[in-house]
């Protein structure tokens, strides 16, 4: 799946400190790859939300937005954000509480000085977000 280029999103990635930028681009790639393997998600949209690159499912409305960006409070930190009104982070805490560093009900936190979570775990979290509303409708 190839996303249309959004100059505003590209500018956010370009403004990230060089050590953090490749990690964010890896997360971006994993979000796109995961979405491509989920036919029910349909086309993914990349846009800025609250100044962060965000990944939306506007056509299918199957998912809850995912945002990624560096953490302004930490020069080596970055995060994947989810809507705090969902149960996503609560679910991640139950399933992966020992593997993931979570913030409240809204984010998975990462740091350059810590080993990243496994791609499988992150892909599970991404899939859960991209299909959140579709799963709620199914019961």
The predicted structure's pLDDT at residue 122 = 99
Mean pLDDT value of segment 7-30: 96
Mean pLDDT value of segment 91-95: 98
Order of all β-strands in the sheet with 45-49: 45-49, 52-56, 66-70, 77-82, 107-111, 101-103
Mean pLDDT value of segment 23-28: 97
Whether the pTM exceeds 0.85: the reply is: yes
61, 126 in Cβ contact below 8 A?
Answer: no
Within-domain flag for 33: yes
How many independent structural domains does the chain possess? 1
Domain extent for 119: 7-138
Tell me the per-residue pLDDT of 115-137, one tens digit each, with 9 for 90 and over. 989 999 999 999 999 999 987 77
Within-domain flag for 115: yes
Within-domain flag for 30: yes
42-45, Cβ contacts within 8 angstroms, sequence gap of 24 or more: 43/1, 44/1, 44/3, 44/130, 45/3
Within-domain flag for 110: yes
Domain CATH for 14: 3.90.1150.200
What is the percent of the chain where pLDDT is above 90? Answer: 89
Within-domain flag for 62: yes
What is the pLDDT of the chain when averaged over all its residues?
A: 95
Mean pLDDT value of segment 45-60: 96
The predicted structure's pLDDT at residue 135 = 78
Tokens standing for residue 14: 């370009």
Q: Which residue has the higher pLDDT, 89 or 6?
A: 89
Within-domain flag for 45: yes
Tell me the per-residue pLDDT of 105-115, one tens digit each, with 9 for 90 and over. 999 999 999 99
Within-domain flag for 17: yes
The predicted structure's pLDDT at residue 139 = 60
| Per-residue pLDDT at 138 exceeds 80 | no
Q: What is the 3-state secondary structure (H, E, C) of the chain?
A: CCCCCCHHHHHHHHHCCCCCHHHHHHHHHHHHHHHHCCHHHCCCEEEEECCEEEEECCCCCCCCCEEEEECCCCCCEEEEEECCCCCHHHHHHHHHCCCCEEECCCEEEEECCCCCCCHHHHHHHHHHHHCHHHHHHHC
Within-domain flag for 1: no
């Amino acid at each position: 799946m190839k996303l249309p280029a959004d100059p505003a999103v590209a500018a956010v990635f370009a403004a990230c400190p060089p050590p953090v930028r490749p990690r964010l681009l890896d997360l971006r790639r994993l979000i796109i790859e995961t979405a491509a393997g989920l036919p029910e998600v349909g086309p993914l949209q990349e846009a800025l939300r609250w100044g962060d690159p965000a990944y939306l499912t506007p056509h299918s409305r199957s998912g809850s937005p995912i945002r990624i960006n560096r953490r302004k409070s930490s020069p080596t930190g970055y995060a994947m954000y989810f809507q705090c009104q969902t149960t996503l982070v609560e679910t991640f805490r139950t399933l992966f509480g020992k593997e993931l560093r979570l913030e409240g009900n809204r984010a998975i936190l990462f740091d350059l000085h810590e080993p990243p979570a496994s791609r499988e775990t992150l892909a599970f979290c991404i899939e859960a977000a991209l299909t959140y509303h579709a799963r709620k409708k199914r019961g």
